[in-house]
Amino acid sequence: MDDNRKLYEIAVMAKENAYAPYSGFKVGAAALTDDGIVYTGCNVENSSYGATICAERTAIAKAVSEGRRNIVKLAIASDSKEYTYPCGICRQVISELMPEGEIIVGNEDDIIIYKVSELLPHAFTLDK
């Protein structure tokens, strides 16, 4: 199994911790740093729906809050047969914190690897 598939499989495992009683849509994520540390995340829903946090942002916030901003890859998994891509809010957060990184989406058979810049070209910045 190659390293990208391994990271995806860690995201599959992280999905099991998802708290998704409202949507029933469990998502897992795994963020890899350039020194080989993996931070996992899952979606954490709330009865005030807008308070929900996605799996990707959970994983990124865990890495950053542990002092690591050197995220190079982020894998995303769900129970869907389709590939699960990051939502728009997550793409913005991903673009800020791992702009040169790669996103891995997958299913049981395949994974696909994208550059972050492919998933959110022309991301918003405060540059003047």
Q: Between residues 25 and 34, which has the closer beta carbon with respect to ligand THU?
A: 25
Residue whose entry in the numeric block shows the structure tokens 């708290």: 19
Cα 90 to Cα 100: distance, rounded to the nearest angstrom: 15
- In the set 4, 5, 20, 62, which binds ligand THU (CB under 6 A)? 20
**What totals of helices (H) and strands (E) does the chain contain, helices first?**
4, 5
Check if the beta carbon of residue 22 is closer than 8 Å to that of residue 72. Answer: no
Q: Between residues 32 and 55, which has the closer beta carbon with respect to ligand THU?
A: 55
Stretch that binds ligand THU, among 2-10, 52-60, 99-107, 111-119 (CB under 6 A): 52-60
Site residues, ligand THU (CB under 6 A): 20, 23, 25, 27, 43, 45, 52, 54-56, 86-87, 90
